[in-house]
């Protein structure tokens, strides 16, 4: 054989092999990029970015109140103008006026804001500046960590019209579990910029992807290289975006709200055929009751309960000015959601069922966080920023490949069967039909939620249940 020909053949084979290997690597890299969301740094402070390095300091923060703040609140409450509800209307027209008078009377004469401020300060609060705005968060480290045990970091993100306070009854269950076999968590609960004690963005465009990027920076600043994330309501999409931005950093994603963002063929077929062939689509009796009849549940109920969303997604500043001036108006606007979103049947009760699941002290504490921080307008703008970009955003079409756990509460606003959750969250590890609970599940059923987070995290950490 000709030695030259053999050498050329070997070289050709090596080049071909290199091209094939290179092509495979390129394909895998590009495939991975398709599943990773892209986002550029922003500047949300006033004016232009300063010509200096970013201030990365972390500053302790204390929730405070004073005599002047309370006197102003009481003056506004005393000057409110009532208006009678229609006879036999309960909560079907909104917050019942007669029961609102009872809530306002309790707020004015019995509710102790100073005591609630002490309760808020039970856990350490901090602020740090990210992309030009101060970001507020609660950071709770376990007090008595057993020797040899490492705490698992967990980020928990709230929604609207909730706050970081929704998680207060869950925090001790996670950071100081009574079961020695349970995981001990280190918990971080930030306020979405524009909510509570986080500074509001001064420029247009701050959406869920921007919040996700800011929270990634927050967790890195706190020294976490990997962590778990939990979210409901807006917290669902913020933590989902976090998983899409940096999937290797999110060890696991736990959700209790996941409305389908883009109906695919499996979802359409399941709606068309699921009632007659439920086993084919993994539907149970609760799925059937919540999904059918389709027109009533998906159209009529949406119209009944989504008016606030249309306002906030279009002209939030207009109605926001009224709510920012009137504490009674603000309370009615927020607490009506805590009634109807906890259980739709509460609309038929004279008191909206508010104190069946929550105490007035807890409900009014959440309202006071909005009132004292003056954040209602900026919190409502978050709808405008997310919906004004359209429903067909890159992240809405992008599947999530981070291990996911889903807690399916029976009275959630929008029911999402397991099949629908799997269309978006491709590594769905746990799907738990919960015994009870609605939209504000972390606040309503903290024990159930904490246990589901425990079970999901144990599975990921490969620990025994």
Q: Tell me what pLDDT residue 21 has.
A: 46
**Pairing state of beta strands 152-157 and 250-255?**
unpaired
In a domain, 177, yes or no: yes
> Is 228 tagged catalytic?
no
Q: Tell me what pLDDT residue 280 has.
A: 78
In this structure, the chain runs to a length of 465
pLDDT reading at 33 higher than 70: no
> Is 383 tagged catalytic?
yes
270 band by pLDDT with thresholds 50, 70 and 90: confident
Q: Tell me what pLDDT residue 32 has.
A: 44
In a domain, 451, yes or no: yes
| Listed range (110-124, 136-150, 317-331, 348-362) with the worst mean pLDDT | 136-150
Please give the Cα distance from 228 to 185 (Å, whole number). 10
Q: Percent of the chain having pLDDT more than 70?
A: 90
> Is 292 tagged catalytic?
no
Is the bond preceding 161 in cis, omega lying within 30 degrees of 0?
Answer: yes
Matching residue, tokens 């969250």: 425
In a domain, 81, yes or no: yes
pLDDT reading at 323 higher than 90: yes
- Domain carrying residue 352: 58-262+306-461
Domain count for the chain, please give it: 1
Q: Percent of the chain having pLDDT more than 90?
A: 76
Domain of 388: which CATH number? Answer: 3.40.50.1820
Quick check: 434 and 406 in contact, CB under 8 A? no
345 band by pLDDT with thresholds 50, 70 and 90: very high
pLDDT tens track for 131-159: 999 999 999 999 988 888 899 999 999 99
Q: Which region holds residue 391: left if phi is over 0, alpha if psi is between -120 and 50, else beta?
A: alpha
What does pTM read for this prediction?
Answer: 0.88
Spot the catalytic one: 99, 333, 383, 425: 383
In a domain, 39, yes or no: no
31 band by pLDDT with thresholds 50, 70 and 90: very low
How many H helices and E strands in the chain?
A: 21, 9
Please give the Cα distance from 188 to 125 (Å, whole number). 10
pLDDT tens track for 206-226: 999 999 999 999 999 999 999
In a domain, 127, yes or no: yes
C-alpha radius of gyration, the chain, whole number: 25
Please give the Cα distance from 183 to 175 (Å, whole number). 8
**Pairing state of beta strands 152-157 and 185-190?**
parallel
In a domain, 373, yes or no: yes
In a domain, 443, yes or no: yes
Q: Tell me what pLDDT residue 59 has.
A: 98
| Listed range (57-61, 63-67, 420-424) with the worst mean pLDDT | 420-424
125, two tokens: 């609060």
Q: Tell me what pLDDT residue 425 has.
A: 97
Q: Tell me what pLDDT residue 10 has.
A: 57
Quick check: 140 and 123 in contact, CB under 8 A? yes
Q: Tell me what pLDDT residue 281 has.
A: 78
Q: Tell me what pLDDT residue 25 has.
A: 44
Q: Tell me what pLDDT residue 18 has.
A: 46
Cβ count near 247 (within 10 Å): 18
pLDDT tens track for 98-123: 999 999 999 999 999 999 999 999 99
Buried b (16+ CB within 10 A) or exposed e, 335-346: bbbbbbbbbeeb
Spot the catalytic one: 233, 287, 343, 362: 233
Q: Tell me what pLDDT residue 29 has.
A: 41
Backbone angles phi and psi of 368, in degrees to 5:
-65, -30
Higher-pLDDT residue of 285 and 365 is 365
**Mean predicted lDDT score pLDDT of the chain:** 90
pLDDT tens track for 164-209: 999 999 999 999 999 999 999 999 999 999 999 999 999 999 999 9
HSE at residue 73, side-chain half, CA atoms within 13 A, is 26
pLDDT tens track for 5-22: 555 555 555 545 545 444
Across-strand partners of 128? Answer: 58, 135
412 band by pLDDT with thresholds 50, 70 and 90: very high
Cα dihedral across residues 306, 312, 314, 316: positive or negative: positive
Task: Please compute the mean of the pLDDT values over residues 291-308 and round it to a whole number.
Answer: 74
Please give the Cα distance from 149 to 97 (Å, whole number). 53
In a domain, 250, yes or no: yes
**Pairing state of beta strands 428-433 and 125-130?**
unpaired
Please give the Cα distance from 145 to 150 (Å, whole number). 8
């Amino acid at each position: 054989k000709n030695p030259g020909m053999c050498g050329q053949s070997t070289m050709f084979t090596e080049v071909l092999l290199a091209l094939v290997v290179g092509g495979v690597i390129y394909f895998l890299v590009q495939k991975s990029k398709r599943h990773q969301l892209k986002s550029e740094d922003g500047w949300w402070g006033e004016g232009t970015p300063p010509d200096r390095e970013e201030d990365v300091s972390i500053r302790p923060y204390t929730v405070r109140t004073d005599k002047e703040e309370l006197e102003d609140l009481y003056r506004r409450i005393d000057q409110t103008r009532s208006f009678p509800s229609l006879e036999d209307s309960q909560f079907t027209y909104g917050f019942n006026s007669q029961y609102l008078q009872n809530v306002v009377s309790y707020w004015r004469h019995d509710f102790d804001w100073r005591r609630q401020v002490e309760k808020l300060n039970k856990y350490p609060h901090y602020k740090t500046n990210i992309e030009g705005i101060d970001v507020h968060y609660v950071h709770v480290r376990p007090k008595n960590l057993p020797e040899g045990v490492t705490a698992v970091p967990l980020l928990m993100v709230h929604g609207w019209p909730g706050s970081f306070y929704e998680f207060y009854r869950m925090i001790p269950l996670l950071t100081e579990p009574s079961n020695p076999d349970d995981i001990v968590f280190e918990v971080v609960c930030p306020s979405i910029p524009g909510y509570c004690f986080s500074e509001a963005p001064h420029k247009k465009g701050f959406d869920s992807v921007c919040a996700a990027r800011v929270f990634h920076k927050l967790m890195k600043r706190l020294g976490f290289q990997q962590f778990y994330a939990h979210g409901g309501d807006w917290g669902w999409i913020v933590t989902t975006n976090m998983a899409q931005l940096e999937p290797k950093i999110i060890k696991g994603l736990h959700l209790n709200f996941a409305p389908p963002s883009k109906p695919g063929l499996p979802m359409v077929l399941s709606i068309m055929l699921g009632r007659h062939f439920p086993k084919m689509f993994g539907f149970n009796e609760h799925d059937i009751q919540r999904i059918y009849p389709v027109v009533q549940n998906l159209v009529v109920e949406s119209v009944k309960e989504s008016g606030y969303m249309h306002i906030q997604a279009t002209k939030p500043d207009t109605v926001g000015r009224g709510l920012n001036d009137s504490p009674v108006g603000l309370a009615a606007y927020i607490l009506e959601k805590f009634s109807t979103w906890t259980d739709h049947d509460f609309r038929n009760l004279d008191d909206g069922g508010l104190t069946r699941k929550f105490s007035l002290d807890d409900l009014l504490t959440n309202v006071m966080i909005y009132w004292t921080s003056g954040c209602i307008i900026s919190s409502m703008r978050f709808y405008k920023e997310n919906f004004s970009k359209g429903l067909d955003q890159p992240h809405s079409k992008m599947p999530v490949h981070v291990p996911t756990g889903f807690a399916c509460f029976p009275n959630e606003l929008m029911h999402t069967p397991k099949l629908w959750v799997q269309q978006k969250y491709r590594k769905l590890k746990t799907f738990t039909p919960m015994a009870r609970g609605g939209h504000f599940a972390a606040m309503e059923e903290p024990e159930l939620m904490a246990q589901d987070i425990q079970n999901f995290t144990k599975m990921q950490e490969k620990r025994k249940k």
